[in-house]
Structure 1
Amino acid sequence: MHLNVETLALINGGEALVLSLMLWFGTRSGSNHAVQGLRLRATALLIEAFGDFILASDFKLSPLTVLLAGNTFNLTAQVLTIVALRMVLQRKLRWREAIALGVAAWLVVTYLATVHPDYRLRVLGGSIFLLGMAMLNVTALWEGRRQHDARAQHLLLWAYLLAIALVVWRNVSLWLLAMPPQGIGTPTTVNLVYVLLLGMQPLMASVGFLLLYNEILQRELHDLARIDPLTGVTNRLGLLEASDVLLARARSKKEPIGVLLIDADHFKSINDRFGHDDGDRVLLELVYNIRRMLRAGDLVGRVGGEEFLVLSPSVKEADLLALAERIRNAVERTPFHIAGQAYALTVSIGAAIADPSEPDMMGARRRADAALYEAKRAGRNCVMISGG
């Protein structure tokens, strides 16, 4: 097969079509934003394939038809890809900016092809807007580049940076030529290399999209394994891992960590009297009251049943007791409505301070548990702190 622009465009179109089908049928599970983003990217690839097929039919169609239809398809694909990537990454979609850049590029290219024909100016004008569209992708990827699990974002970032470099190289090459070509279909070295490398970009970007999708699924599975399904707070496994992280940070700062063990008083009677569904709603309200008393760096998790653990970094004993009292008071003053009746709930709280020199958090947990037992013995609805 003779290698020319039409042949390369046909190959690129077939590749984009296959990638579109792979993305569409390979994304049946996962979070809605990730699936919707990949489906939108698959649609963009399908539209891009039509643009490539039009370029491959350059010898059958008029140059103006190839220009107008090809740019319409390709610019539409670019706009959809911008929105798709931001959808997957859960960034601001910026679809208005993407559409505005796409429409402006189409108008400039059309004007410089029909009203004031100039191929080099046409390529330059369209490239300026294409660079703006590429930068919308780059900025979306740049935000999360420092995450430890952002390898796919780095791959996509390089793909779009290479696409920017390709556009810049094409323009520089055209302006250096004494006799520039009059269209993308002209069989010149610049056009051949440009179409060839441009055809590789969808493959790189699609692989990046799939890897990004896989990373998102892995992250969601990781989070699901560490979140209590009822209350939405951290579970035992998450608390264990967070304890190690907080203790390591406390050692570096040489600051203590406050530990609160909170238990709902007489909670079994609620389940026995009203049923577990109403009991679950009470637990959700209890978690809400605990959370609204915490600082940004504090962590609350469910230890089991109606027992919750709060880890509060960089606090002194007086501050920890004040926090515990605020939680206890907030719960006591909140009317819990069960089956149309107002029900008063109280909590007992055991407190302890974890010294940064301790090997782990288990010692502080045991001290907080002993203090909680003392609070129960003292009549409940009170706070006790471990003596050490």
Structure 2
Amino acid sequence: MRKLDWSARGRARVYALTVLGTAVCIAVAFVVDSFSFETWTWRWGSDPHNNVIIPLLLAPLFFYLLLNKMRQLSIAHHELAHLAATDSLTSLLNRRAFTEVVEGYIQKMAASSKRQTDALLVIDVDHFKAINDHFGHDIGDEALKQIADAICAGLKEPDLAGRLGGEEFGVFLTTKTPERVAATAEQMRLCVRDIAFAPDGSNHRLTISIGGVIFDDCPTFQELYRQADEQLYFAKRSGRDRVKLSSRHPASRPA
């Protein structure tokens, strides 16, 4: 059975609050009609049934229109927020949103007494400029979309993926052992190699280089990005189409 959506964007809240608002109007009508402010006593009005009929005729329409308009505004706000945080080409998080989410996660872990192993991967498409120069930017964009899908294929919540700009992607892996981080990065590399990219009828292999940093402390995003980018540089200098990972070893840890 489908779960009712009680959020500000759901119809369930509109219907429930319409019924509640109508009931309140009926109750108020009885209070106003039945209470004498002169004698401070309660009495039935001359036409008590009007206290039900009139609110039932007017209140449901008023509350439904008002609440439905508020629901539409909430949906529009949500869609605008989604567009502001999403890369239009790949539908991944854009750089700002990706950075903010990772920073928020690290701050949450800093306030927690437990420590766990996480990782930041920085991914770059090998020789992407040659793809754009040879096939054009439209084909290049199609390649990026296929690569983004391949990168995300093995991810599970709460792992994150984002497009950091151009042909560069970021992946944040949470609660993973170093072995699992290495296996996930290698799976991404192989998934991209398996993409059937043949814009001119013949297959052209797509590859990526991956640099990453594994950590169990609470650094800043910029520190993580710098270390992961260094490993990406090593991966490219070593011949591309490979994974290079490092682990942080903080000088001191809180007790």
Q: Structure 2 length normalisation: TM-score?
A: 0.80
TM-aligned CA deviation for residue 156 of structure 1: 5.4
1:246 aligns with 2:105: yes
Bigger proportion of residues as helix:
1
Distance 1:208 1:363, change over 3 A: same
- Correspondence for 1:193: 51
Moved runs in structure 1, 4+ residues, more than 6 A? 150-153, 164-168
TM-aligned CA deviation for residue 158 of structure 1: 2.6
Bigger proportion of residues as strand:
2
What is the percentage of aligned positions where both structures have the same residue? 31
TM-aligned CA deviation for residue 246 of structure 1: 2.2
1:371 aligns with 2:220: no
Alpha-carbon displacement from aligned partner over 1:128-172 (angstroms, at most 9, x marks no partner): xxxxxxxxxxx84xx334xxx66997575332234468899xxxx
- Correspondence for 1:353: 214
Aligned to 1:299, which of 156, 160, 170? 160
TM-aligned CA deviation for residue 293 of structure 1: 1.5
**Do the aligned residues in 1 keep the contact of 2:6 with 2:13 (CA within 8 Å)?**
no
- CA distance in 1: counterparts of 2:23 and 2:69, whole angstroms: 22
Q: Which amino acid aligns with 1:191?
A: H
- CA distance in 1: counterparts of 2:131 and 2:104, whole angstroms: 36
1:333 aligns with 2:178: no
TM-aligned CA deviation for residue 247 of structure 1: 1.8
TM-aligned CA deviation for residue 194 of structure 1: 1.3
Residues matched between the structures, number: 228
- Correspondence for 1:277: 138
Q: Which amino acid aligns with 2:236?
A: K
Q: Structure 2 regions of 5+ residues with no counterpart? A: 28-44, 249-255
TM-aligned CA deviation for residue 239 of structure 1: 0.5
**Do the aligned residues in 1 keep the contact of 2:120 with 2:228 (CA within 8 Å)?**
yes
- Correspondence for 2:222: 362
Q: Which amino acid aligns with 2:47?
A: T
Q: CA RMSD in A?
A: 2.8
- Secondary structure of 1:364's counterpart equals helix
Aligned to 1:157, which of 2, 8, 16? 16
Q: Which amino acid aligns with 1:307?
A: E
1:311 aligns with 2:172: yes
Aligned to 1:236, which of 81, 92, 95? 95
- CA distance in 2: counterparts of 1:291 and 1:160, whole angstroms: 44
- CA distance in 2: counterparts of 1:151 and 1:342, whole angstroms: 47
Structure with more contact order per residue of length (Cα contacts < 8 Å, sep ≥ 6): 2
- Secondary structure of 2:133's counterpart equals helix
Q: Structure 1 regions of 5+ residues with no counterpart? A: 1-90, 93-138, 169-186
TM-aligned CA deviation for residue 337 of structure 1: 1.6
- Secondary structure of 2:197's counterpart equals strand
Which has the larger Rg? 1
